[in-house]
Amino acid sequence: MAGGVIVSATAGKDYPGNLTLHVFITCVIAATGGLIFGYDLGISGGVISMDDFLKKFFPAVYRKQSLVHQSVNQYCAFDSQILTLFTSSLYLAALVSSIFASYITRKLGRRVSMVAGGVLFAVGAILNGFAQNLAMLIIGRLLLGFGVGSANQSVPIYLSEVAPHRYRGGLNMMFQLSITIGILVADLLNYFFAKIDGWGWRLSLGIALVPALIIIIGSFFLPETPNSLIERDHHEKAKEKLIELRGVPNVDEEFNDLITASEAAKLVKNSWRNIIKRQYRPHLVMAICIPMFQQLTGMNVIVLCSCFVQNHWLQKPSFPHVCFNYRIIYWTTNSYVNEQLVVALAIGLKFGVNGNPGDLPTWYAVIVVILICIFVAGYAWSWGPLGWLVPSEIFPLEIRSAAQSITVSVNMIFTFIIAQVFTAMLCHMKFGLFLFFAFFIMVMGLFIYYLLPETKGVPIEEMITVWKNHPYWRKYYDDLPSPKQVELA
Ligand code: BGC
């Protein structure tokens, strides 16, 4: 959670179930779906700073950049809309495919969507690796985007459904961990491939096939989630899977609750139309605001900037948030507002408002890099994993697939906007760009503190209780009986 309002941590049921090796391995394999997203995030920024790549596909940009590098204004050195459009086109494709993926995950199951994501990404990687012209490059890029959209729509839901509720947070955050590993590997590979004259970029783009194969092959070993099997009327199989996943024979209570949730879900014919109903208002608000705020941390400015300036080793995978409840998000938010402020100050002091060039002393660069590392570490235990975990666990079954698509779409829209405009913003707002993100980090801290109830330890199909008991959101359920009334009745 987040908030000052811990209303529900004990409101849910406590189903029997262990963190078995089986469920752990299942989640590790499923989480590798994050590798394709991470790999692409890491690779594209680096590739577009390789001269051979620019000369082949964007010669005009290459010529312009050679001149701009000598510009007196350092803030404007990276401002090229065509190039950023190449990077960010993927996010638009991901947005579109996440909407289709919502139907697939609902009708055919979560795994099919994961495999589809891997296959689309694999074809995109091959096209990009062998690209002879701009058309091949762009078509490949769109396919990569379709792959990312499908995987990001299905993997977080899969993880939240498969995990025993007490371990859901820790297991789900492996998705963010693999995104981060993907970025790290891509950055390291870019660093080496940039030294290969002429065709290093082909290796950077083509090796995207590897994470795609990992998720495709891995998915064949994954069980379908019990929730999805029940949703598609395979009750017996669902019970077998639930017993296997929980590692205990007595799963009746959880199984019956899954059936009840599924029956309620079946009454909802069109989840896209239903999500705008009053009783789903908190879900809709979270589906939109959480991914929007995740992007407004400014994390992707750091991811993309770091590629531009060749600081390829800044991404750090991190595990620690498993030990805390989500309240940490608020604490961390404050600490990394400060980080953005200090980065702004450090950059502002050096380049001033005119972006004066001049040599950056090594000690100064090291301080900026350390500050950025602290920022990245703060993100990696708060808005990074929780930006995917919280949406995947709060939506009731009847709107889950559609709501997750909204989350992915909003994430991609904001990733697109930020990727597209940050170089221009940097050029015009100068170090104020970092103050801009610092402001939003403060706003999102308050949002989480007051509006997001604690979900830790609450079984996924029991999540409705957290909204019904929340001081603000409960008014949306006033006309429905409260859990206490139901208990007393
Ligand atoms: C975000 C990405 C970001 C990445 C960085 C993910 O959770 O959705 O936009 O680049 O974290 O680690």
Task: Compute the distance from residue 414 Cα to the ligand 1 centre, in Å.
Answer: 11
pTM for the whole thing? Answer: 0.85
Q: Kindly report the protein residue whose alpha carbon is nearest to atom 12 of ligand 1.
A: 180
Ligand 1 centroid, distance to 116 Cα (angstroms): 21
Please tell me the residue having the least CA distance from ligand 1 atom 3.
300
Q: What's the rounded Cα separation, in Å, for the pair 77 and 15?
A: 57
**Ligand 1, from 91, 176, 304, 314: best to mutate by most atoms within 8 Å of Cβ?**
176
Tokens 């602290």, located at residue: 374
CATH of the domain at 480: 1.20.1250.20
Q: What's phi and psi for 221, nearest 5 deg?
A: -95, 0
For residue 264, the CA-to-ligand 1 centroid distance in Å is 34
CB atoms closer than 10 angstroms to residue 130 = 12
Nearest atom in ligand 1 to the alpha carbon of residue 376 is: 12
Is 14 within a domain? no
Pocket test for ligand 1, best of 36, 40, 41 (most atoms within 8 A of CB): 41
SS3 248: coil
- Take residue 328 and report the two structure tokens written for it: 């940490």
- Rounded distance, CA 208 to CA 144, Å? 9
Is residue 203 one of the residues assigned to a domain?
yes
Residue 35: the pLDDT is: 96
CA of 300 relative to ligand 1 center, distance in Å: 7
Ligand 1 lined by 41 (C-beta under 6 Å): yes
pLDDT tens, residue order, the chain (489 aa):
444 444 444 455 788 888 899 999 999 999 999 999 999 988 987 898 888 998 999 888 788 767 655 555 666 655 667 777 788 889 999 999 999 998 899 899 999 999 999 999 999 999 999 999 989 999 999 999 999 999 999 999 999 999 998 999 999 999 999 999 999 899 899 989 999 999 999 999 999 999 999 999 999 999 999 999 999 999 999 999 999 999 999 899 999 999 998 998 888 778 888 999 999 999 999 999 999 999 999 888 877 665 554 433 333 333 522 323 444 455 455 555 556 666 666 666 666 656 655 566 777 777 777 887 888 888 888 899 999 999 999 999 889 999 999 999 999 999 999 888 877 887 788 778 888 998 999 999 999 999 999 998 899 888 999 999 999 999 999 876 554 444 444
The whole-angstrom separation of Cα 74 and Cα 312 is 20
| Ligand 1 midpoint to CA 43 (Å) | 13
Instruction: State in Å: Cα 183 to ligand 1 middle.
Output: 9
Residue 2 lies in a domain: no
Per-residue model confidence (pLDDT) at position 296: 95
CA gap 41, 183 in Å, rounded: 6
Cβ–ligand 1 distance for 23 under 6 Å, the answer: no
| Domain span holding position 151 | 21-485
**Cα–Cα distance for residue pair 135/140, rounded to 1 Å:** 8
Does 431 reside within a domain?
yes
Ligand 1 lined by 152 (C-beta under 6 Å): no
Ligand 1 in reach of 150 Cβ (< 6 A): no
Helices then strands, each counted (H, E), the chain: 24, 0
Give the integer Cα–Cα distance in Å for 177 and 159.
Answer: 13
Distances (CA, A) of 232 to 155, 166, 235, 255, 489: 18, 26, 8, 14, 32
Ligand 1 pocket, 211 CB below 6 A? Answer: no
300 lines ligand 1 (CB under 6 A): yes
CB of residue 228 inside a 6 A radius of ligand 1: no
**336 class by beta-carbon count within 10 Å (0-12 exposed, 13-18 middle, 19+ buried):** buried
User: Is residue 1 a part of any domain in this protein?
Assistant: no
Atom 10 (ligand 1) nearest CA = 300
> Which atom of ligand 1 is closest in space to residue 380's alpha carbon?
12
Closest CA to 177 of 4, 34, 321, 355: 34
Confidence at residue 412, expressed as pLDDT on a 0 to 100 scale: 95
Q: Which atom of ligand 1 is nearest to the CA of 183?
A: 12
And the tokens for 221? 């070993």
Whole-angstrom distance, CA of residue 125 vs CA of residue 118 = 10
In a domain, 10, yes or no: no
pLDDT at 315: 34
186 CB-near residues (< 8 Å, 6+ apart): 38, 39, 40, 41, 42, 43, 46, 204
C-alpha 111/C-alpha 116 separation (Å) is 8
Atom of ligand 1 nearest to the CA of 388: 7
* Residue 110, in any domain of the structure: yes
Residue 4 maps to a domain = no
Q: 407 CB less than 6 Å from ligand 1?
A: no
In a mutational test of the pocket of ligand 1, which residue from 43, 179, 383, 418 has the highest number of ligand atoms less than 8 Å from its CB?
179
Q: Is the CB of 299 under 6 A from ligand 1?
A: yes
> What total number of domains does the chain contain?
1
Ranges of H-type helices in 358-458: 362-380, 383-394, 397-429, 432-451
Both tokens of 426, joined, read: 């940097």
Q: What was the pLDDT predicted at 244?
A: 92
